[in-house]
Structure 1
Amino acid sequence: MDRPDHDRASAFDADSRRRVQVLVIGGGQAGLAAGYYLRRAGLDFAILDANPAPGGAWQHYWDSLRLFSPAEYSSLPGRPMPHQTGAPYPNARHVAAYLAAYEDRYHLPVHRPVHVTGIERSPDHLTIHTSADTWHAQAVVFATGSWQRPFVPAVPGRELFTGHQLHTTGYRRAADFAGQRVVVVGGGNSGAQIAADLTAVTETRWVTRRPPHFLPDSVDGRALFELATHQVRAHAAGDTHTGVASLGDIVATAPVRAARDSGLLAAHPMFDRLSPTGPVWTDGSTWDCDTIIWCTGFRPDLAATRALEDPRIHLLGYGNWTGPASATLVGVGRTARTAVEQIRTLLG
């Protein structure tokens, strides 16, 4: 998917002092949205991405994953996502291709693959150390997402289990587990989707800490974005109690609905511990299995920063705590625009 512009951006000049006004760390959807507004603001900037190819985390998702929203409700600022032929809800590969085309369209200076290893502060600039070079910037935007920091809970006996364990990040397709007994742990969208995906070829047990709470079948990403927009306006008016959590936690996509309605997606309570052969519940019941898939979320990939209190450092795209819907394609543009406006004011 690389184009000549990517090759030029990635060809490091050994004599360059690597000085920019703004350095964006992360070349996924949040980093590209920041780049769009930085370009419009006329600021000198660069984007560092750890991936070898464009597409952000979308290039790593499982094969059956589809967006919750149609393409027109899943676009970054300035360029609508094209429709995917025969698919009202685009798949992850389509999104990755869209992000690659977005980079080219706006000639965003993405350097890859580059890993940031640390930041040092001084009164007049920030020094960013990477696997390839050292950069100096007046402001930094962290847009690294969370895909590189999967979270697995510390369940007793996890190290004793002799079967296969993997996180959502390692799942690609149901066929890889055909004929197995698989436990899927996690009551969010990833857990529901992967469990539904597996039911056709495995004996699957879906385990959740709380009973799953499905959104109404009529609700998809379009409605969720409208609700998030209403939440932003309500908060601006002083209403801090408005939210979408009361509706549910899991979007009932077509495969999830089919598995749920056929009785194949019935959730079981979380087990107490693991034995060498599988889960053990508090009442002593067991279920031997071949594989456990931990769909238990992520943590922000922010290990490189030690200066969150520094106004020159901005965080973008890490979920509601960096702006409502900021971890979504359509929602990240709003917070990216705000961040760039603040940076422009800071830099004078």
Structure 2
Amino acid sequence: MSAADVVIIGGGQAGLATAHVAAARGLRPLVLEAQAGPGGSWPSYYDSLTLFSPAGYSALPGLAFPGDPQHYPLRDEVVDYLTAYTARLAAEVRFGSPVTRVEPDDDGFGVTTADGTVVRARSVVAATGGFGSPYRPALPGLDDFTGTVLHSAQYRNAAPFAGARVLVVGGGNSAVQIAVELAATARVTLTTRGPLRFQPQRYLGRDFHWWLHRTGLDSSRLGPRLARGPVPVIDDGRYRAALRAGRPDHRPLFARLDGDRAVWSDGASERVDTVLLATGYRPHLPFLDGTGALDAYGVPMHEGGLSTAVPGLGFVGLERQRSFASATLRGVGRDAAHVLGALRPARHAATRG
């Protein structure tokens, strides 16, 4: 058994930022990461993924993102950045250490990993974020569809879909980006329950993150309240232009799937090869089952990242946790500082082998 001042579950951007803040405050954090190497979930995202925030607004605390501050980093640049950040971190990071159980008690927590190791800590921060579990909605006929069903978490690039008939379900950034990319080689329809919402990437010659920062909305707790509803698609002009040109076309959600066919609301039907669900994610926190920290849907009950049910437990990296930026590279450091400041984890007296 070993001990730490604070155990941080997850070694992606949220966990690394939390560990940096903890170490800067003189604490001894331990980061437990399920993956075998650094980068969190980023290495598994689709190949062409590009940040819609410039590098100058895409850094974790203590290390600037390299390159031109105005450029929009690619997925692999983010992986390289997180790898370098991990190497510089004044904290122990244990890779290949998925957490299976967190048990609160009178002295803090016992955190158990898959190999049976138990770590004692006064505080725990769950920093696996809100994107750990791909969400598959209940759509008519989906379970019996005889074609291929994929989630965007499984999508890498357009090459395997050349010439195929593909329906992309979803109206967020990933749905639109993937649909436009696929439309270069496949016959693609983007299908959504409601209208698409777009937000220009630049206003008056400046990226909209500059305006968010200048107005204070980026870090304000009022931000999420002012922007209720679906997250808009950030557009530099390419995506709306592609949709207007019908590459891909956009239609209301199909009425149902029947065998290998999609049936539309007007009764027309057509054969479909692949249904790609770009329908988002949900938090994946099975290690908190039984603690009372999660609601009936497995969503953490918290106020600003502090558990409302389990003292000493915090969260970092949840979408709109405290601000617009909460689940982003630029925002997790602020939330980590808030959570650790409220938890005030004490230094552990000893380390036992």
Cα pair 2:130 2:319 within 8 Å, conserved: no
Give the aligned residue type for 1:174.
A
Q: CA deviation at 1:223?
A: 4.5
Cα pair 1:228 1:324 within 8 Å, conserved: no
Partner residue in 2 for 1:311: 311
SS, match of residue 166 in structure 1: strand
Partner residue in 2 for 1:320: 320
Give the aligned residue type for 1:316.
V
Partner residue in 2 for 1:74: 58
Give the aligned residue type for 1:160.
D
Q: CA deviation at 1:179?
A: 1.0
**Aligned equivalents of 2:221 and 2:275: distance in 1?**
41
Within 5 A, what are the aligned runs for 1:84-163? 88-132=71-115, 133-163=117-147
Of 264, 269, 280 in structure 2, the residue corresponding to residue 286 of structure 1 is 269
Mapped pair 1:226 → 2:203: no
Give the aligned residue type for 2:317.
G
Q: Deviations over 1:66-88 (max 9, x none)?
A: 01022111000111110279x92
Within 5 A, what are the aligned runs for 1:238-317? 243-244=226-227, 249-253=232-236, 255-305=238-288, 306-308=291-293, 309-317=309-317
**Aligned equivalents of 2:141 and 2:225: distance in 1?**
41
SS, match of residue 287 in structure 1: strand
Cα pair 1:28 1:144 within 8 Å, conserved: yes
State the identity as a percent: 37
SS, match of residue 311 in structure 2: coil
Change (3 A) 1:228 1:51: farther
Cα pair 2:179 2:248 within 8 Å, conserved: yes
SS, match of residue 202 in structure 2: coil
Q: CA deviation at 1:255?
A: 4.4
Unmatched tracts of structure 2, length 5 or more: 294-308, 349-353
Mapped pair 1:43 → 2:30: no
Change (3 A) 1:137 1:280: same
Q: CA deviation at 1:324?
A: 3.5
SS, match of residue 320 in structure 1: coil
**Aligned equivalents of 1:157 and 1:247: distance in 2?**
25
Cα pair 1:73 1:221 within 8 Å, conserved: no
Q: Deviations over 1:83-125 (max 9, x none)?
A: 279x921111100110010011123311011111112121112
**Aligned equivalents of 2:154 and 2:182: distance in 1?**
14
SS, match of residue 35 in structure 1: helix
Change (3 A) 1:185 1:244: same
**Aligned equivalents of 1:228 and 1:60: distance in 2?**
34
Q: CA deviation at 1:319?
A: 0.8
Q: CA deviation at 1:225?
A: 4.3
Q: Which has the higher helix share?
A: 1
**Aligned equivalents of 1:277 and 1:149: distance in 2?**
26
**Aligned equivalents of 1:223 and 1:260: distance in 2?**
27
SS, match of residue 234 in structure 2: coil
Q: Which has the higher strand share?
A: 2
**Aligned equivalents of 1:191 and 1:297: distance in 2?**
9
Q: Deviations over 1:187-226 (max 9, x none)?
A: 0101000001111000001101111011135255624743
Q: CA deviation at 1:278?
A: 2.7
**Aligned equivalents of 1:336 and 1:230: distance in 2?**
18
Tell me which moved more, 224-233 or 38-47: 224-233
SS, match of residue 83 in structure 1: coil
Partner residue in 2 for 1:334: 334
What TM-score, normalized by structure 1, do the two folds share? 0.87
Change (3 A) 1:165 1:302: same
Tell me which moved more, 163-172 or 324-333: 324-333
Unmatched tracts of structure 1, length 5 or more: 1-16
Mapped pair 1:196 → 2:199: no
Mapped pair 1:18 → 2:2: yes
Give the aligned residue type for 1:293.
L
Q: CA deviation at 1:282?
A: 3.3
**Aligned equivalents of 2:133 and 2:93: distance in 1?**
22
What TM-score, normalized by structure 2, do the two folds share? 0.85
Mapped pair 1:174 → 2:174: no
For the aligned residue pairs, the C-alpha RMSD in angstroms reads 2.5
**Aligned equivalents of 1:204 and 1:126: distance in 2?**
50
Q: Deviations over 1:301-321 (max 9, x none)?
A: 122112421120001111113
Q: CA deviation at 1:64?
A: 1.0
**Aligned equivalents of 2:48 and 2:236: distance in 1?**
12
SS, match of residue 287 in structure 2: coil
